[in-house]
Amino acid sequence: MELQTTKRMNLWKKILLGICSFLIFLVAAGVVYEAVSSYIGVKQSPPPGKLVNVGDFDLHIHKQGSGSPTIILETASGSTANVWNDIPKELAKFTTVVTYDRGGYGWSEKATTERTGENIVKELYTALKKENIEGPYIVAGHSLGGMYTRLFAQTYSDEVEGIVLIDARHEDYSKETNPILLAAGFDPVLSGYPAKHILTLLKQTGVIRLLNMGNPEMEESINIELRPKFFEAREAELRDMAVTEDAIRNQSLGDIPLRILTHGQPEDLTLVGLTQEQSQIMEDVWQQQQEQTLQISSNSQLIVAKNSGHYIIHDEPQLVIDVIKDVVDQIK
């Protein structure tokens, strides 16, 4: 009896050892496959713009068009310059347009500085000057990028002559909505994103690539955008967001032309786990704060993108183009 029990135990040990060995082999194979695929993918996808040194790392900046003023487009959290699709090309038909990837994003190298708004706008300004891309500037920012846009206008006020905020986050949004997110069981800092170390593990073991297998539209995104340096940069931006909020609180920008685009289709946050009541409160706070942002300039206007959710740049790109062009025409 004892002999049979011993044989069974040895058999189970062999089975478990075999399973563990197989899993280790799969992980190792995934790591190697991802490393090779990423290397080849990066080599096959050169940056559309230029890499410009801004201190201890290179920033990817893409200039299109010519003439004055210069339009600068600032992306949301988690978005690279590609997110604007054809908007820069259309704007470049009548003036200079600049898109770029913040440190750690897209083709830009990993940032060596803290991801505060102060550092981010300074790095952008350094790249512009190194490339002789002069003002006057019109700055347009989407979501979190709207706060960086406002800080850029505040820091370099002598060179900025117009601002367009595209469903831009308000400096008090966190203060008003963090209690709601905490009550719903969310980490308000990460805004629902998985932690950087989890995403890095999924990337380096090839899981992200495997989940998107057969989707050619995601190929460049996996190779260029979804890299560990990006996961680290995005999380750092979110953790440093309070510093940026403080930098623009109680802001006053005189009579600079300011256009505020806000979404007309409410965001349904029940899809991510909030109750209908919580989702409605979040929406009400957002819209109230869009109206409050009008106060930072005496020459401001609020425009509702009636057919858009948060990504107005995708839902109604022509409206975005028209609003920016209107500001260009004003300062000309």
Q: Three-state SS across 78-128?
A: CCCHHHHCCHHHHHCCCCEEEEEECCCCCCCCCCCCCCCHHHHHHHHHHHH
Say what the pTM is: 0.89
pLDDT at position 214 is 67
Task: Name the β-bridge partners of 59.
Answer: 52
User: How many Cβ atoms are within 10 Å of 284's Cβ, its own excluded?
Assistant: 12
Residue 72 in 3-state DSSP? strand
Where is pLDDT greater, at 208 or 29?
Answer: 208
Architecture of 50-194+225-331 per CATH?
A: 3-Layer(aba) Sandwich (3.40)
Q: How far apart are CA 197 and CA 324, in angstroms?
A: 38
Distance from CA of residue 324 to its chain's centroid? 20
Q: Is the pLDDT of residue 101 over 90?
A: yes
Q: What would the DSSP string read from start to end of 159-186?
A: TEEEEEEESPPPTTHHHHHHHHHHHTT-
- Tokens 């897209």 label which residue? 106
Q: How far apart are CA 243 and CA 249, in angstroms?
A: 10
Q: Is the pLDDT of residue 37 over 70?
A: no
Q: Is the pLDDT of residue 192 over 90?
A: no
Where is pLDDT greater, at 53 or 213?
Answer: 53
- Tokens 């107005």 label which residue? 312
User: How many Cβ atoms are within 10 Å of 2's Cβ, its own excluded?
Assistant: 6
What type of residue sits at position 289?
Q
What type of residue sits at position 8?
R
Q: How far apart are CA 144 and CA 75, in angstroms?
A: 7
pLDDT at position 317 is 98
Where is pLDDT greater, at 259 or 226?
Answer: 259
What type of residue sits at position 48?
P
- Do residues 180 and 174 touch, judged by C-beta distance below 8 A? no
Length of the chain: 332
Q: Is the pLDDT of residue 110 over 90?
A: yes
Q: How far apart are CA 11 and CA 191, in angstroms?
A: 48
pLDDT at position 39 is 65
Q: Average pLDDT for residues 93-101, to the nearest whole number?
A: 97
Share of the chain above pLDDT 90, in %: 67
* CA-angle at 218, arms to 213 and 219, nearest 5°: 75
Where is pLDDT greater, at 206 or 235?
Answer: 235
Q: How far apart are CA 164 and CA 185, in angstroms?
A: 34
**Under 8 Å CB-to-CB from 296, ≥6 apart: which residues?**
150, 251, 252, 253, 258
